[in-house]
Amino acid sequence: MNTLKNTLRDLARYPSAVFGIAVIFVLLGVAVYALVTIPYSEAVRLWRGGEEVWYRNPKYAAPAWFNSFSKTKQPISFTASTRDGGITKAVIPQGQDISSIEMTYVFEYAYDAPPQELILYFNTVFEQKFPFVSIVWRTPDGREIKIVNMTVDRRTTYRFSQDPKLQKYLKTDQVMEALFRDPKSETPTPLKGQYQLLITATTFENASDIDAEFVLHGNLYGLAGTDKYRRDLFLPLLYGTPIALAFGLLAALGTAFLTMIIAAIGTWYGSWVDELIQRITEINLVLPFLAILIMIGTFYSRSIWLMLGATILLSIFGGSIKTYRAVFLQVKEAGYIEAARTYGASDLRIIFNYLIPRMIPLLIPTLVSSVPGFVFLEASLAVLGLGDPVLPTWGKVINDAFTDGALYQGRYYWVLEPAVLLMFTGLGFAMLGFALDRIFNPRLRDI
């Protein structure tokens, strides 16, 4: 307990260690939050979901906070629905089973560019007679534009800019520009203010009902933006945290402890066991680590847990076995080991109770410093297209962005968001590892 307190006090002297610990705690918090709010199966469902899950989002939208840093304000996507009360809905019975449903949606538009698209989704209930809707657009300066009159089926989608009749009526195929344009302005700038969308539906049956959902696809969306498949990038960024941490920590722990146990066994038994371990280490050195992982990923399975196992197996006989061996050789000659041997302690008891505990202080810095390497390894595999097929991870996002040429197209946010998270994770662990190394390695302390 005292050593722990001393270590913590030593750590507090290094600002980089404090920073590292803070980053690690934030990441752990985010990881717990992600796992609690989004269950594993839900995360997989959302990530693998197509249009039916993500239809509300625009493609390639940058994060909404971009507006805070830019003079021209880009439209932010939003949705409103009669189901949750976003769109007011009033039913006025007209007699003879006919009723008229008035749906009004008022929204403030204060952006410097027209949106990408306006879409209305109708969900209706009826037996035989199709309901009828008419949509009217009212601009802030009081002009009214008749958008469409149409009958709607059980599920109908109406995309404003793809309606040829509306294009003809507005005398342009730039429907969005025309709907939002300020008529007094020379250049096509959007008019800011309150827009109204009036939907009047007529139903011809008693039990008939109609619900509408209005979606505005802007150029910006949410905290993290969206990708090519309209997916909210916040999901993989949030959910990638526990996955990255789990992979990094498990691989680091597994590798460090197994390596140490093997080194201890080798030095304790000596002779051919030691020799064999030395030879395996040399062979492992020329085994192309990544190429073998790639082979496993292509031939067998891309599951992240299989990759984790293979990574640990391939890293056990790494260079650190030499360092441990050198220390164990010294410890082996220590008096207390001699004493244990005289009173008849078994080999395993000596290895696990006397040799390995002496190594823990040396192990901790190595362990912490090796975490970033494994976190980045997971990302590297994903960049090569060998990421876990179902899980949302940071590396997957970078891979998607790269295959889509995000850097060429100037969609920097898509690459930078996961990259910055990876960097913070890497730096956090690396900085703490460095500080720990200086504390536990007295030789480095003054240098």
Partner 1 sequence: MSAESLTATAESSPIPKKSFANSAFARLARYTAVRFFTMAITVTVGVYLTILIANMGGYVDTIMRNEIRDGVTQAILASPTYRSLSQEAKQELIQKKIAAEEARIGLDKPFAIRSLIYLRNGLTLNLGRALYMTSDHGSKEVRLILLERLPATLLLTGTTELFLFFGSVFIALSLSRKYGSWFDKLTIALSPTSAAPPWFYGIFFILIFAAVLKILPFGGLVDSPSPDNPFDYGLSVLKHLILPAMSVIVSSIFLSIYNWRTFFLIFSSEDYVEVARAKGLPSRDVERRYILRPTLPTIITNFALLVITLWTGFTITETVFVWPGLGITLYRAIGAYDTPVIVGSTIIYAYLLAITVFLLDFVYALVDPRVKVGAGGSQ
Enter the tokens of residue 276.
């064999």
Please tell me whether residue 424 binds partner 1 under the rule CB under 8 A.
Answer: no
Q: Please, what is the minimum distance in Å from the beta carbon of residue 291 to partner 1?
A: 4
- Contact pattern from residue 393 through residue 412 relative to partner 1, giving x for each residue in contact according to CB under 8 A and a dash for the rest: -----x---x----xx-x-x
Please tell me whether residue 196 binds partner 1 under the rule CB under 8 A.
Answer: no
Of positions 44, 150, 294, 362, contacts partner 1 by CB under 8 A: 294
Please tell me whether residue 443 binds partner 1 under the rule CB under 8 A.
Answer: yes
Of positions 426, 436, 439, 440, contacts partner 1 by CB under 8 A: 426
Of positions 220, 251, 391, 430, contacts partner 1 by CB under 8 A: 430
Of positions 126, 289, 362, 390, contacts partner 1 by CB under 8 A: 289
Are the C-beta atoms of residues 209 and 203 closer than 8 Å to each other? Answer: yes
Contact region for partner 1 (CB under 8 A) — 42-50, 101-109, 238-246, 439-447? Answer: 439-447
Alpha-carbon distance values, 234 to 64, 99, 169 (Å): 12, 42, 40
Contact region for partner 1 (CB under 8 A) — 44-52, 71-79, 220-228, 427-435? Answer: 427-435
Please tell me whether residue 334 binds partner 1 under the rule CB under 8 A.
Answer: no
Identify which of residues 1 and 286 has a Cβ nearer to partner 1 in the complex: 286
At CB < 8 A and 24+ separation, what contacts does 358-365 make?
358/331, 359/260, 359/264, 359/324, 359/327, 359/328, 359/331, 361/440, 362/323, 362/324, 362/327, 362/440, 363/256, 363/257, 363/260, 364/436, 364/440, 365/433, 365/434, 365/436, 365/437, 365/439, 365/440, 365/441
Tell me how many residues contact partner 1 (CB under 8 A).
52
Identify which of residues 115 and 240 has a Cβ nearer to partner 1 in the complex: 240
Of positions 63, 297, 365, 392, contacts partner 1 by CB under 8 A: 297
> Which residue(s) pair with 226 in the sheet?
232
Of positions 290, 334, 339, 348, contacts partner 1 by CB under 8 A: 290
Instruction: Assign 145 to helix, strand or coil.
Output: strand
Please tell me whether residue 385 binds partner 1 under the rule CB under 8 A.
Answer: yes
Identify which of residues 22 and 295 has a Cβ nearer to partner 1 in the complex: 295
Q: Please, what is the minimum distance in Å from the beta carbon of residue 59 to partner 1?
A: 20
Read off φ and ψ for residue 124, nearest 5 degrees. -125, 155
Of positions 300, 338, 347, 353, contacts partner 1 by CB under 8 A: 300
Contact region for partner 1 (CB under 8 A) — 51-59, 160-168, 180-188, 284-292? Answer: 284-292
C-beta atoms surrounding 222 within 10 Å: 18
Q: Angle between the 289-299 and 304-316 helix axes, to the nearest 10 degrees?
A: 150
| Nearest CA-CA partner of 193 in 126, 273, 107 | 107
Read off φ and ψ for residue 181, nearest 5 degrees. -70, 140
Are the C-beta atoms of residues 82 and 63 closer than 8 Å to each other? Answer: no
- Cβ neighbours of residue 14 closer than 8 Å, sequence gap 6 or more: 435, 438
Identify which of residues 136 and 280 has a Cβ nearer to partner 1 in the complex: 280
Are the C-beta atoms of residues 232 and 49 closer than 8 Å to each other? Answer: no
Q: How long, in residues, is the chain? A: 447
Q: Please, what is the minimum distance in Å from the beta carbon of residue 296 to partner 1?
A: 7
Please tell me whether residue 384 binds partner 1 under the rule CB under 8 A.
Answer: yes
| Nearest CA-CA partner of 381 in 232, 245, 244 | 244
Q: Please, what is the minimum distance in Å from the beta carbon of residue 430 to partner 1?
A: 4
**Starting from the edge strand earliest in sequence, which strands make up the sheet with 193-203, in order?**
88-95, 98-109, 193-203, 132-138, 144-151
Please tell me whether residue 270 binds partner 1 under the rule CB under 8 A.
Answer: no
Please tell me whether residue 327 binds partner 1 under the rule CB under 8 A.
Answer: no
Contact region for partner 1 (CB under 8 A) — 66-74, 101-109, 127-135, 381-389? Answer: 381-389
Region of 271 (left: φ > 0; alpha: ψ -120 to 50; beta: rest) is left
Of positions 125, 223, 360, 423, contacts partner 1 by CB under 8 A: 423
**Starting from the edge strand earliest in sequence, which strands make up the sheet with 209-217, in order?**
78-81, 209-217, 117-125, 155-159
Contact region for partner 1 (CB under 8 A) — 36-44, 225-233, 255-263, 416-424? Answer: 416-424
Identify which of residues 43 and 439 has a Cβ nearer to partner 1 in the complex: 439
Of positions 1, 4, 90, 286, contacts partner 1 by CB under 8 A: 286
**53-92 positions binding partner 1, by CB under 8 A:** none
Are the C-beta atoms of residues 427 and 23 closer than 8 Å to each other? Answer: yes
Q: Which amino acid is at 190?
A: P
Please tell me whether residue 427 binds partner 1 under the rule CB under 8 A.
Answer: yes
Residues at the site binding partner 1, with contacts judged by CB under 8 A: 16, 282-283, 285-292, 294-300, 319, 322, 326, 369, 372-373, 376, 379-380, 383-386, 398, 402, 407-408, 410, 412, 415-416, 419, 422-423, 426-427, 429-431, 433-434, 443-444, 447
